[in-house]
């Protein structure tokens, strides 16, 4: 049987594509080809992206936190254009000006990744309000980390979404850490669903090792949100590597890391497919090899792509109707005069 005939196989493949893509992102960084110094990998957290992403529809939109590569891939991003963006190339989704942490694409409903913890959350409330008025059947989904559970903007956003019956879903990817701070050192209450319920949202906690559970929970909450009952879900998972590429996680013991990495949603999905007789290990290996080929090509594409031309520095940065930015040469002259 071909594994792609089952939803679990599709979810497994999406997770494999995310992980392999991010392994290539790490390679891009190690080779000095990434733009900017910060890169955040979601390896270990793939079930949140794949499971919720699969429960969304083409008309839906979303925002992500700074660890959002996987979510965008799960929503149909073209990996080579993503890699080009992360490398700061003109062929990237934002012509190299967004990079890993500010990637966006209106065509795929990506309203923007955001480096400010909690920063992307209120945007989905605005999107949800517009969808409600347009009656277009779309929902808007905010993805954020457990760190944002301690940000006030989340509570203003949940309150407004509930009060106005907006088609919105809040998704907390709880990887147990905000940078080097373990979640129980950041809050006395880790029962996040109870916080959301207090605002009148439908709320669920789900195990991020089990991608099917994430998918089914997201589907149920997305259906409710589409009917004007906003929801919240927290996906519990483990960040396999450091916060950023330079972080060697000195705040975690080797035992904790080893135990955390055993909570691997991809290994679990593979085992389940084989146990249920839905795929052979050999067929899954062949699919993995195909994904590796696909993702290897993204590095070659990004490495060969051009940087944006110097003269385009301010193009696409300001919206139509916004005041013209100061011409580049004049700005440089002014800065040099001050220096």
Ligand X SMILES: Cc1ncc(C[n+]2csc(CCOP(=O)(O)OP(=O)(O)O)c2C)c(N)n1
- The secondary structure element, H or E, covering residue 261 is helix 254-261
Binding to ligand X (CB under 6 A) within 122-151 occurs at: 145-148
Nearer to ligand X, 116 or 246 (CB): 116
Residue of 179, 289, 317, 328 interacting with ligand X (CB under 6 A) = 179
- For residue 309, the tally of other CB atoms under 10 A from its CB is 10
Compute the distance between CA of residue 173 and CA of residue 124 in angstroms, rounded to an integer. 16
Q: Does 64 bind Mg ion (CB under 5 A)?
A: no
Nearer to Mg ion, 177 or 240 (CB): 177
Q: Give me the sign of the Cα torsion angle 210, 215, 220, 222.
A: positive
Q: At what angle do helices 211-226 and 265-275 cross, to 10 degrees?
A: 100
Residue of 64, 80, 114, 175 interacting with Mg ion (CB under 5 A) = 175
Across 31-61, b (16+ Cβ under 10 Å) vs e yields eebbbeeebbbbbbbbbbbbbbbbbbeeebb
95 binds, among ligand X, Mg ion, none (CB under 5 to 8 A by kind): none
Ramachandran angles phi, psi of 249, nearest 5°: 55, 55
Q: Does 65 bind ligand X (CB under 6 A)?
A: yes
Nearer to ligand X, 47 or 84 (CB): 47
Q: Give me the sign of the Cα torsion angle 109, 217, 41, 126.
A: positive
- For residue 180, the tally of other CB atoms under 10 A from its CB is 13
Q: Does 146 bind Mg ion (CB under 5 A)?
A: yes
Over the window 97 to 126, marking each residue x when it contacts ligand X by CB under 6 A and - when it does not, the resulting string is: ------------------xxx---------
Q: Does 175 bind ligand X (CB under 6 A)?
A: yes
Residue of 178, 208, 242, 308 interacting with ligand X (CB under 6 A) = 178
Nearer to ligand X, 30 or 179 (CB): 179
Compute the distance between CA of residue 104 and CA of residue 64 in angstroms, rounded to an integer. 9
Shortest distance, position 184 Cβ to Mg ion, whole Å: 12
Number of residues that bind ligand X (CB under 6 A): 15
Compute the distance between CA of residue 38 and CA of residue 34 in angstroms, rounded to an integer. 9
Residue spans of alpha helices (H) in 247-280: 254-261, 265-275
46 binds, among ligand X, Mg ion, none (CB under 5 to 8 A by kind): none
Residue of 177, 199, 240, 301 interacting with ligand X (CB under 6 A) = 177
Binding to ligand X (CB under 6 A) within 232-261 occurs at: 243
Nearer to ligand X, 234 or 299 (CB): 234
Q: At what angle do helices 265-275 and 281-304 cross, to 10 degrees?
A: 140
Residue of 67, 75, 110, 263 interacting with ligand X (CB under 6 A) = 67
- The secondary structure element, H or E, covering residue 20 is helix 7-30
53 binds, among ligand X, Mg ion, none (CB under 5 to 8 A by kind): none
Ramachandran angles phi, psi of 127, nearest 5°: -60, -45
Residue of 51, 68, 145, 167 interacting with Mg ion (CB under 5 A) = 145
- The secondary structure element, H or E, covering residue 110 is strand 110-113
Nearer to ligand X, 13 or 66 (CB): 66
Nearer to Mg ion, 67 or 270 (CB): 67
Of 145, 115, 192, 190, nearest to 42 (Cα)?
A: 145
Shortest distance, position 47 Cβ to Mg ion, whole Å: 15
Interacting residues with Mg ion (CB under 5 A): 145-146, 175, 177-178
Interacting residues with ligand X (CB under 6 A): 65-67, 115-117, 145-148, 175, 177-179, 243
């Amino acid at each position: 049987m071909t594994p792609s005939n089952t939803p679990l196989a599709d979810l497994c493949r999406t997770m494999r594509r995310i992980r392999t893509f991010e392994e290539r992102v790490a390679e891009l960084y190690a080779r000095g080809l990434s733009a900017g110094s910060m890169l955040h990998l979601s390896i270990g957290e793939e079930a949140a992206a794949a499971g919720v992403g699969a429960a969304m529809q083409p008309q839906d939109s979303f925002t992500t936190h700074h660890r959002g590569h996987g979510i965008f891939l799960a929503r149909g991003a073209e990996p080579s254009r993503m890699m080009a963006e992360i490398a700061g190339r003109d062929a990237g989704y934002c012509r190299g000006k967004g990079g890993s942490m500010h990637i966006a694409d209106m065509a795929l409903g990506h309203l923007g990744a955001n480096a400010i913890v909690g920063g992307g959350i209120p945007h989905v409330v605005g999107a949800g309000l517009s969808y409600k008025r347009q009656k277009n059947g779309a929902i808007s989904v905010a993805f954020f980390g457990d760190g944002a559970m301690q940000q006030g903007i989340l509570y203003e956003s949940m309150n407004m979404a509930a009060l106005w019956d907006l088609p919105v879903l809040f998704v907390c990817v709880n990887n147990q850490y905000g940078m080097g701070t373990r979640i129980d050192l950041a809050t006395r209450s880790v029962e996040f669903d109870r916080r959301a319920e207090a605002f009148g949202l439908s709320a669920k906690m789900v195990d991020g090792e089990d991608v099917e559970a994430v998918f089914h929970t997201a589907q149920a909450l997305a259906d409710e949100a589409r009917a004007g009952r906003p929801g919240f879900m927290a996906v519990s998972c483990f960040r396999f590597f450091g916060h950023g590429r330079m972080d060697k996680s000195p705040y975690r013991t080797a035992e904790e890391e080893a135990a955390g990495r055993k909570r691997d949603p991809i290994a679990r999905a593979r085992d389940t497919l084989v146990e249920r007789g839905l795929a052979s290990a050999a067929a899954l290996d062949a699919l993995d090899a195909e994904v590796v080929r696909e993702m290897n090509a993204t590095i070659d594409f990004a490495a060969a792509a051009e940087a944006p031309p110097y003269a385009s520095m301010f193009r696409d940065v300001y919206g139509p109707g916004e005041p013209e930015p100061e011409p580049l040469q004049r700005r440089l002259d002014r800065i040099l005069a001050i220096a």
